[in-house]
Structure 1
Amino acid sequence: MPLSPDQQAEIDAQRAQSQPTLRATSKGIEAQLYRAHPVLDHGFVRVIDYMGDDAAITQAARVSYGRGTKSVQNDEGLIRYLMRHWHSTPFEMCELKLHVKLPVFVARQWIRHRTANVNEYSARYSVLDREFYIPAPEHLAAQSSINNQGRGATLEGDEAARVLETLKADSDRAYDHYEQMMGQEGQQGLARELARMNLPANVYTQWYWKVDLHNLFHFLRLRADPHAQYEIRVYAETICDLVRDWVPLAYAAFEEYRLGAAQLSATGVQVVRRMLAGEEVTQETSGLTKREWAELMGVIG
């Protein structure tokens, strides 16, 4: 379970409180505030706070005194224009603060996006819980033979069972030693900041992660992609659902021009134009490498 009864009671108490405000609010994200959305076996994503809405984007783009125009269609058209032409600063006017519980190895991949404010649970001051990410059998896969950072076929039978047993046993043994090093009765014990180094990368950590909408969209474009590692992709997909509720017009533009779109090189555009003109173009005559040609063919079919 991602949440204990005490944690759930704390969330329920937060959601029961209400404060009047003059600032812009979004009904969709208000309904999600503080609620924990489970991810993986022990993880979750929670919205802690936010600033701005769709109207804040158009207001900033126009530097206006009001909240956008009288026409929702005009606001939607402007947001789509801004997204289509890669205008970033109006989207930076909106911010989202998340509370995320995630395995350490996912956190180390996530933190590569250096455009957010992060405060992580400190294992120097507190003892980490005995919670480890253990993949479901369908997510145990061999190394890909064609992609150095990807997965291949799913492990099956005895091999899958052996890997799962090893992961569970090593995790428990490491945590047992972690507790023992911090001291038994009558012992001084090792400092928590040193004992933590014995824990495996699948132990869970937590952090607050605050990011503006422009940089959040960049994160989601990479991590919600089907090629992203499964364990971070499911977090990104959960966040996508929250952002859709928060800024529906901006998220629809993001889906149209980022998630569901493709980018062509200058040479790739010329190849497409030559094909449309009736020319038979091959990889050898295209000016593209074999990998670039394969990627272009994947886009245009």
Structure 2
Amino acid sequence: MALTPDQIAEAQALRATPRPTLRAVSEGMEARLYTPHPVLDHGFIRVIDYMGDDAAIVQAARVSYGAGTKKVSDDAGLIRYLMRHWHSTPFEMCEVKFHIKLPVFVARQWIRHRTANVNEYSARYSILDREFYIPEPGQLAAQSTVNNQGRGAVLEGAEAARVLEVLKRDAATAYDHYEEMLSQAQPDGTPQQGLARELARMNLPMNIYTQWYWKCDLHNLFHFLRLRADAHAQYEIRIYAEEMARMVADWVPLAFAAFEDYRMGGVNLSAKAVAVLKRRLNGEVVGQEDSGMSKGEWREFVEVWG
């Protein structure tokens, strides 16, 4: 993980000068503010700012009940109700802003979540660092034979070593050429104009690191985590999501507990799946052929229900 000296100094200064506030404060998130948490070989994620806490979710939900209405449930119960019945607006009252350093190919997958505000480090104005994501040997795997998006068996021996060497060599060569194109002098010292940064960057590989600020409300952040912190998500984005989830658990513990229970730990059933379960409970033996489900649906059903 590499923060610049200026970023380190900024984080230290901000943590050293706390300020009194009338805003709602989450003690768990205050402990997280500005501190970078390492991810992958050179990446990190840190919280830059946040708004709201569990109480903000409850406040937003109860505002529509009208003055004088009794609180018939405690905060945890209300939050669980909101999560259980897929209410979204109260969770949108909380927001968080992250500073994230990540490989470009992960960023391109991440940006598919179009419900955040994003500002990325610009390689038009600045020169990218010589930092590349090189997987650990245990993350080098063959293509899955049952999932077009997934990994299969881990590569071993000479094949794994060859792949790692190719990744390292190609990344180094591409960056060398990037520097040569930017330079105003050829290797022998002959002056040259040097290629514009916005053009030279096209030669860089997808495993080079970029950085961005990513701001999102809690409702959409939960949606991101449900997909990307899932065991089926690609490893490289999943461990960012898992680190982010630990931060969210400290920020809004009641909401995160409900999210874990109903979204991460829960299961959504189709009408056909409900019908199969009812038939099974009545003692009937049901197979894929008479379930009304496709093979893919049935495989996913069996993974959960046996």
Same fold per superposition (TM over 0.5): yes
Residue 239 of structure 2 is aligned to residue 234 of structure 1: yes
Q: CA deviation at 1:294?
A: 1.8
Q: How far apart are the structure 2 equivalents of 1:254 and 1:144?
A: 30
Residue 280 of structure 2 is aligned to residue 275 of structure 1: yes
Q: Which residue of 2 aligns with 1:202?
A: 207
Q: Which residue of 2 aligns with 1:289?
A: 294
Q: Which residue of 2 aligns with 1:151?
A: 151
Deviations 1:64-104 (A, max 9, x none): 79xxx999970000000000000000000000100000000
Q: How far apart are the structure 1 equivalents of 2:11 and 2:130?
A: 22
Deviations 1:115-147 (A, max 9, x none): 000000000000000000000111111111111
What RMSD in Å do the two structures reach over aligned CA positions? Answer: 1.8
Q: CA deviation at 1:295?
A: 1.3
Superposed counterparts of 1:60-139, under 5 Å: 60-63=60-63, 74-139=74-139
Residue 191 of structure 1, aligned match among 187, 191, 196:
196
TM-score by length of 2: 0.94
Q: Which residue of 2 aligns with 1:224?
A: 229
The letter of the residue matching 2:268 is: Q
CA spacing shift, 1:219–1:162, aligned 2, 3 Å? same
Contact (CA 8 Å) 1:38, 1:45: kept in 2 or not? yes
Contact (CA 8 Å) 1:2, 1:41: kept in 2 or not? no
CA spacing shift, 1:28–1:170, aligned 2, 3 Å? same
Superposed counterparts of 1:35-46, under 5 Å: 35-46=35-46
The letter of the residue matching 1:131 is: E
3-state DSSP of counterpart to 1:221: helix
Q: CA deviation at 1:7?
A: 3.4
Deviations 1:179-204 (A, max 9, x none): 11012332210000000000000000
Q: How far apart are the structure 1 equivalents of 2:49 and 2:7?
A: 18
Contact (CA 8 Å) 1:115, 1:211: kept in 2 or not? yes
Q: Which residue of 1 aligns with 2:160?
A: 160
3-state DSSP of counterpart to 1:142: strand
3-state DSSP of counterpart to 2:201: helix
Q: CA deviation at 1:43?
A: 0.3
Q: How far apart are the structure 1 equivalents of 2:32 and 2:277?
A: 44
Q: Which residue of 1 aligns with 2:251?
A: 246
3-state DSSP of counterpart to 2:184: coil
Q: How far apart are the structure 2 equivalents of 1:250 and 1:38?
A: 25
3-state DSSP of counterpart to 1:196: helix
Which stretch of the first structure deviates more once superposed, 6-15 or 170-179? 6-15
Q: CA deviation at 1:283?
A: 1.6
Identity %: 74
Q: CA deviation at 1:41?
A: 0.3
Deviations 1:140-183 (A, max 9, x none): 11111111111111111111111111101110110010011012
Q: Which runs of 5+ in 1 are unaligned?
A: none
Q: Which residue of 2 aligns with 1:3?
A: 3
3-state DSSP of counterpart to 1:31: helix
Q: Which runs of 4+ in 1 moved over 3 A?
A: 4-7, 69-73
Q: How far apart are the structure 2 equivalents of 1:199 and 1:263?
A: 42
Q: CA deviation at 1:3?
A: 2.8
TM-score by length of 1: 0.95
